[in-house]
Amino acid sequence: MMVEEQSSLTECALFQSLDPGRLTSLLGRVRYGRRQYALGETVVRSGEACDHLRIVLSGMLRSEMTDENGQVVEVEMLAPSRCVAPGFLFGRDRRFPVEVKAHQDSSLFIMERGSLIALFRLDDTILENFLDIVSSQVQFLARRLEEMAFGTIRKKILDYLHDLSREKDGYCRLDRNLEELSGFFGVARPSLSRVLGQLEREGFIQRKGRGRYRLVSLDKAQ
């Protein structure tokens, strides 16, 4: 393992608070390996069993999902010292929810799940660090899903306003109240109100009175 790769490993959040000597000693008691991936090569596929801990030592990985229309959506980029989907190493369905590819020529530290459990038993600091990592990732994914959902709501609102008949002054009148619209779009009413307010603040729509809106720019808003 090269010097910069050793540095990435010691800087990994999983081994935080462990001095290099202690980490070397612990790793000497378990099995692990190292693997290289070329630019564009698939590291793991969506649905593949997650039975190894993977840590980026060098390069960069990209995790992505494909929607029902075949559009690829980036979930996150994984730089050196980052773990790859650690939250899916445990639980009933231990499978990767995303596809991970090498965004650059990359090198990964790889350890079987059983060896990771052995490390937990050898030093509870590693277990505490692992729980912190998983909690942070759950929070990140929750925010990411919210962003993606808001993007969908945004498009639905804009398309809906675009399709409504317009009055002489360019405004259109909603044919449903907010409660009915939230059911129509399949979203919570607070989320709908929040996106409407955001579009208005950004100048993409204008509101005049109750239930009357003017679509300023459809292209820019989407």
Give the per-residue pLDDT at 150: 64
Residues 153/189, Cβ–Cβ less than 8 Å: no
- Residue 77: phi and psi, rounded to 5, are -105, 140
The helix, strand and coil proportions of the chain, stated in percent and rounded to the nearest 5, come to: 45, 25, 35
How far apart are the C-alpha atoms of 69 and 91, rounded to whole Å?
A: 30
Of 155, 162, 140, nearest to 75 (Cα)? 140
CA-wise closest residue to 66 among 92, 96, 46, 52: 46
**Domains of the chain: residue spans and CATH:** 3-122 (2.60.120.10), 147-221 (1.10.10.10)
pTM equals 0.66
- Residue 5: both structure tokens together: 């790769």
Tens of pLDDT along the chain (222 residues) come to: 665 677 889 999 999 999 999 999 999 999 999 999 999 999 999 999 999 999 999 999 999 888 777 777 787 889 999 999 999 999 999 999 899 999 999 999 999 999 999 999 999 999 999 999 999 878 877 766 765 666 678 888 888 888 876 766 788 888 888 888 887 777 788 888 888 999 999 888 998 888 888 888 655 444
> And the tokens for 67?
């929607």
Q: What is the CA radius of gyration of the chain?
A: 24
104-to-13, 39, 78, 84, 136 alpha-carbon distances in Å: 22, 5, 11, 15, 25
Token reading at 182: 């939230």
Alpha helices in 28-123 (DSSP H): 113-122
